[in-house]
Structure 1
Amino acid sequence: MSHTGRTSPGRQPEHPEVGQIRLESVLSALADPVRLRIVSDLARGHQDMACISFELPVSKSTSTHHFRVLREAGIIRQYYEGTSRMSRLRTEELDACFPGLLAAVLHAQGVRV
């Protein structure tokens, strides 16, 4: 998935294909309050956000772990733009796998989608 043409192909994190996204992984990832906050922030109109732009109540290494869990569960897609690692929700892919799940989770968090 090309975003701007400025990314380096060798530095792209791995993501599960749509057919590899599992409900138990998605639900487990969303059960953590910090990860749920990241997802909510992304859904609030910030389609692509640099990891450093999130104000999280955890250390940088713990933050990195949370982003990795979300990426490996198939909830977010990450890519590099220059030296920044950008994140975006995989809304369409998640809706294809689990229709309405992400919207319901976000609605429960008070996020309008």
Structure 2
Amino acid sequence: MTTAAASSRALAHPERDEIRLESVLHALADPMRLRVVRELAAEEDIELSCSYFVLPVTKSTTTHHFRVLRESGVIRQIYRGTAKMSVLRRADLDALFPGLLDSVLAAAARQEGRLGDDGLGG
């Protein structure tokens, strides 16, 4: 994992060649994390602040979910002032696992339509 040495607030991310399929699948298996990924995918290449996401969990649990997504290589996070911004690492994921992200996102959309919710049971 690499960090930007210029800032003590830099966040560690795996390099593309360090991203592992099982870590990505683990990150995408959780309904809250999948919800975040779906929202990031809908806003392709746009950085969104963590406060943009309204998840029905505590702030510490939300922080945990973002850390799992970042450390698995699914998202990239960077501080912009006091805001922590997130963006989907689509290019990296598509290069490593062609079609995986699109398949998962399509399956999540079908499930939402079938269950009448966002897969969170509500």
Listed as ranges, the gaps of 5+ residues in structure 2 are 1-5, 111-122
Q: What's the TM-score, normalizing by structure 1?
A: 0.87
1:10 aligns to 2:41 (yes or no): no
Distance 1:9 1:102 in 2: 31
Once the two structures are superposed, what CA deviation does each residue of 1:48-103 show, in whole Å capped at 9, x if it has no partner?
A: 11001101010000000000000000000000001000000000000111011011
Q: Which structure has the greater CA radius of gyration?
A: 2
Letter in 2 for 1:36: L
1:93 aligns to 2:92 (yes or no): yes
Partner of 2:33: 35
Distance 2:71 2:37 in 1: 14
Q: What's the TM-score, normalizing by structure 2?
A: 0.81
Matches within 5 A, 1:57-96: 57-96=56-95
Could you say what secondary structure the match of 1:109 adopts? helix
Could you say what secondary structure the match of 2:85 adopts? strand
- RMSD (Å) for aligned C-alpha atoms: 1.4
Percent pairwise identity:
59
Aligned-pair CA distance for 1:10: 2.8
Partner of 1:107: 106
Letter in 2 for 1:84: A
Could you say what secondary structure the match of 1:10 adopts? coil
Greater relative contact order (CA < 8 Å, ≥ 6 in sequence): 1
Letter in 1 for 2:85: M
